[in-house]
Amino acid sequence: MPFIRIETNIDLEERKKSASLAAVSNIVSKATGKSVDYIMARWAPKAPMTMGAEDVPTVYAEVKSVGLTADQAAAISPLTELLTETLGVDKHNVYIEFACGTPDMWGLGGGMLG
């Protein structure tokens, strides 16, 4: 049920993307207590991005999950460190948006979760 999407303006090798997505999934699994088997993670294609109107290395990530709490979102903070180490981005150029969904608004396998 958790979904993580990462957007950046930095090129990254495909094998590093795959390894990073596995690490991201593990961070979210640990923080939320949800099985990694139900976590979907995605690298969006490289896109033009700016921070402070400057063309600098930048990352935007979304973390969405049914029932996500503020405490769980705070526990996902190691995601920033992972992204800064993997991409060489200043931590102040990493935005993470957290969103809590309700089971009646999430579908899986042709049905709704709630």
Evaluated on CA atoms 1, 21, 58, 78, the torsion sign reads: positive
What's the average model confidence in pLDDT over 33-49?
95
Cβ contact 10:57 at 8 Å:
yes
Q: By percentage, how much of the chain surpasses pLDDT 70?
A: 100
Q: What is the pLDDT of residue 114?
A: 84
Instruction: Specify the pairing of strand 59-66 against strand 3-8.
Output: antiparallel
Cβ contact 98:80 at 8 Å:
no
User: Over 90: is that where the pLDDT of 86 sits?
Assistant: yes
pLDDT tens digits for 94-103? Answer: 999 999 999 9
> Which value, to the nearest 10 degrees, does the dihedral of the CA atoms of residues 44, 48, 53, 59 take?
20
Q: Which residue reads 């009646």 in tokens?
A: 104
